[in-house]
């Protein structure tokens, strides 16, 4: 898949997830085969740009290219400024969030709430595309609710506004995360536009990725929740798409080395105390469905130092193979 000057190969992309796709996780997913990783969303509100959280979200030091930053907001001018600001801080690709149903985002008519107002969508997209010299991508749901599945209309607006690629989550805003993603609307969107389309929603295995690509005709798949605790899913999907064969999951030695390097990156990025706290949720995902997971989680959540967290992690994972993608 080509997005502006960037060749996205393999066509398997990490979805933006607030609280998950920070720099350490993006770097890990890239190393384990993702063709592109999109940052957590950053607010378009300049009053919040200088918080410690925003500063960390702008740190792209050492991140493999292309550096993709997602912005969220509702005001065309503010979003254009946010895009410029992020490009000045290293973004090589700007993604606009019109896919997130979170109350925090929708309450102020940002995220997927924007899908209700097609004229405003056009104004936002044109303003952001005109503001920056880098490709601008858009992430949407299939519509506002099942009675208003206007994904095709939004996709046409996106293409006419100069959007370089479109990621579509196969649920409406009203669906939240309930039910199963549907791929018919993504197929209709792909058929309606000439820009690359990324299919998103419930892709949790190499076989499912191949099925979704077939069903939608999309140019790439975007994987979110299935990468939590399984960042090697990217190389598994890429390998399956390229060869039709299934890769085995990492063995205990590689698993330990992946987890230890992830934890060490978290400590280095956030500092030891916040790093240990943030690592707990990843460890919870890594050990999910493992024998002894409960006891490991209880023990690892009770320790407060990096050294102890690493020691318990090594002791637990060096004995166990990791989960295979479903």
| Residues forming beta bridges with residue 70, ordered by sequence position | 41, 95
Residue number of the CB closest to ligand FMN reads: 224
Measured from the CB atom, the residue of 44 and 223 that comes closer to ligand FMN is: 223
Catalytic residue among 29, 37, 100, 287: 100
Measured from the CB atom, the residue of 197 and 306 that comes closer to ligand FMN is: 197
Measured from the CB atom, the residue of 92 and 97 that comes closer to ligand FMN is: 97
* Helical spans, DSSP H, in the chain: 23-31, 52-57, 76-88, 103-106, 118-131, 151-160, 184-192, 206-216, 233-243, 252-270, 272-286, 293-301, 306-317
Residues that bind ligand FMN (CB under 6 A): 15-20, 40-41, 70, 97, 99-100, 139, 169, 200-203, 223-226
Q: How far is the CB of 181 from ligand FMN (least distance, A)?
A: 6
Outline where DSSP puts E strands in 156-202. Answer: 165-169, 197-200
Q: How far is the CB of 220 from ligand FMN (least distance, A)?
A: 13
Active-site residue flag, 29:
no
3-state DSSP assignment of residue 221 = strand
| Residues forming beta bridges with residue 226, ordered by sequence position | none
Q: Are 82 and 42 in contact (CB under 8 A)?
A: yes
Q: From the CB of residue 249, how many other CB atoms can be counted at a distance below 10 Å?
A: 16
* Element spanning 14, H or E: strand 12-14
Q: How far is the CB of 160 from ligand FMN (least distance, A)?
A: 22
> Hunting for tokens 């208003």 — which residue is that?
148
Measured from the CB atom, the residue of 178 and 298 that comes closer to ligand FMN is: 178
Angle between helices 293-301 and 272-286 (to 10 degrees): 170
Q: How far is the CB of 170 from ligand FMN (least distance, A)?
A: 8
Measured from the CB atom, the residue of 138 and 258 that comes closer to ligand FMN is: 138
Q: How far is the CB of 173 from ligand FMN (least distance, A)?
A: 11
3-state DSSP assignment of residue 39 = strand
Residues labelled as active-site residues: 100
């Amino acid at each position: 898949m080509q997005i502006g000057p960037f060749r996205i190969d393999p066509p398997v992309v990490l979805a933006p997830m607030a609280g998950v796709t920070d720099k350490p996780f993006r770097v890990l997913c890239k190393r384990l085969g993702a063709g592109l990783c999109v940052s957590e969303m950053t607010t378009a509100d300049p009053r919040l740009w200088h918080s410690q959280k925003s500063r960390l979200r702008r740190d792209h030091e050492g991140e493999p290219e292309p550096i993709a930053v997602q912005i969220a907001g509702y005001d065309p001018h503010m979003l254009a400024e946010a895009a410029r600001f992020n490009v000045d801080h290293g973004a090589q690709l700007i993604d606009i969030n019109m896919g997130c149903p979170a109350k925090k985002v929708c309450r102020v008519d940002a995220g997927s709430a924007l899908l209700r107002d097609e004229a405003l969508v056009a104004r936002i997209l044109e303003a952001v595309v005109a503001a920056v010299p880098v490709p601008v991508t858009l992430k949407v749901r299939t519509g506002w609710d099942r009675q208003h599945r206007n994904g095709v209309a939004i996709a046409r607006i996106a293409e006419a506004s100069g959007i370089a690629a479109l990621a579509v989550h196969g649920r409406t805003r009203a669906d939240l995360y309930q039910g199963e993603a549907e791929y018919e609307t993504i197929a209709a969107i792909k058929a309606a536009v000439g820009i690359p389309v990324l299919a998103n929603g419930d892709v949790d295995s190499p076989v499912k990725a191949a099925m979704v690509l077939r069903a939608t005709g999309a140019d790439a798949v975007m994987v979110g929740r299935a990468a939590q605790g399984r960042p090697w899913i990217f190389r598994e999907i890429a390998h399956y798409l390229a060869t039709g064969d299934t890769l085995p999951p990492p063995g205990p030695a590689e698993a330990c080395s992946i987890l230890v390097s992830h934890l060490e990156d978290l400590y280095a990025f956030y500092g030891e105390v916040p790093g240990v706290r943030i690592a707990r949720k990843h460890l919870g995902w890594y050990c999910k469905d493992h024998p002894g997971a409960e006891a490991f989680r209880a023990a690892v959540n009770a320790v407060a130092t990096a050294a102890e967290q690493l020691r318990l992690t090594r002791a637990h994972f060096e004995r166990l193979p990791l989960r295979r993608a479903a």
